[in-house]
Chain A
Amino acid sequence: EAGVVQSPRYKIIEKKQPVAFWCNPISGHNTLYWYLQNLGQGPELLIRYENEEAVDDSQLPKDRFSAERLKGVDSTLKIQPAELGDSAVYLCASSLDLGTQYFGPGTRLTVL
């Protein structure tokens, strides 16, 4: 069974540019999470979806970050405009309801 798929794996952009990350969860998983992982830190939740509804986006910086999960399957996380401090790994995870979370490999973002 395929795991959580994320793309791109690596992205380098200049500050003030927009960037988007894509996630395809494990088939049948209705809950999807986006996490931010800074170097030397544990992942921190940005947003959680149950099907197509964002049920917890309290940690998402809404001035520059946005996310969507159309049709309750794939999800996209966008940053516009990117800042130097956004350099990090963006992890996507999925679960069946509120069960075990399975993580993708992440997208490593570098903002120059």
Chain B
Amino acid sequence: QKEVEQDPGPLSVPEGAIVSLNCTYSNSAFQYFMWYRQYSRKGPELLMYTYSSGNKEDGRFTAQVDKSSKYISLFIRDSQPSDSATYLCAMSGAGANNLFFGTGTRLTVIP
């Protein structure tokens, strides 16, 4: 079993929809939780960064972490065609060093 599980999709939504992306994990030592966005033929870029449990909002993006359930989510409000990309969750332990990634969810926002 992988340490980080993520539904690979693909996920297609109409423009303006609310998107929910999720990951589960098994390692209770994870304390830092991140979401990366990866456009085709590009490297991943950091979108959201959360320490421990709780919510964090940045514009149209909200990240949630529930450590008791070992479950993290990313919500995208008012989705735009430019949000079409692969979204990777990633997490690390107390040293915040080595990242463990999910497989990524491929999102398409249809105009």
Q: Which residues of A contact B (CB under 8 A)?
A: 4, 40-45, 48, 56, 91, 93, 98-106, 108
Cα A20 to Cα B44 with chains together (Å): 22
Q: A42-B104, A93-B43, A103-B36 are in contact. List 7 more A-B contacts (CB 8 A).
A: A40-B103, A42-B4, A43-B99, A91-B43, A99-B96, A101-B46, A102-B46
Q: Which residues of A contact B102 (CB under 8 A)?
A: 42
Interface residues of chain B, those whose CB is within 8 Å of chain A, are 4, 6, 8, 36, 41-46, 49, 88, 90, 95-99, 101-104
A41 touches B99 (CB 8 A): no
**Contact between B88 and A42 (Cβ–Cβ < 8 Å)?**
yes
Q: Which residues of B contact A103 (CB under 8 A)?
A: 36, 43-45
Whether B43 lies near A100 (C-beta < 8 A) is no
Please determine whether B103 and A42 come into contact, CB atoms closer than 8 angstroms. yes
CB distance from A1 to the nearest CB of B (A): 14
- Contact of A45 with B98 in the complex, beta carbons under 8 Å: yes
Nearest CB in chain A: distance from B92 CB, A: 9
CB-nearest residue of chain B to A31 = B97
CB distance B44 to A41 under 8 Å? no
Q: Which 7 pairs show the lowest CB-CB distances between chains A and B?
A: A42-B101, A103-B43, A98-B96, A98-B97, A103-B44, A105-B43, A104-B43
Distance from A14 Cβ to chain B, minimum over Cβ atoms (Å): 23
CB-defined A-B contacts under 8 Å, sample of 30: A41-B103, A41-B104, A42-B6, A42-B88, A42-B90, A42-B102, A42-B103, A42-B104, A43-B101, A44-B101, A45-B98, A45-B99, A48-B97, A48-B98, A56-B97, A93-B43, A98-B95, A98-B96, A98-B97, A99-B96, A100-B46, A101-B99, A102-B45, A103-B36, A103-B43, A103-B44, A104-B43, A105-B41, A105-B42, A105-B43
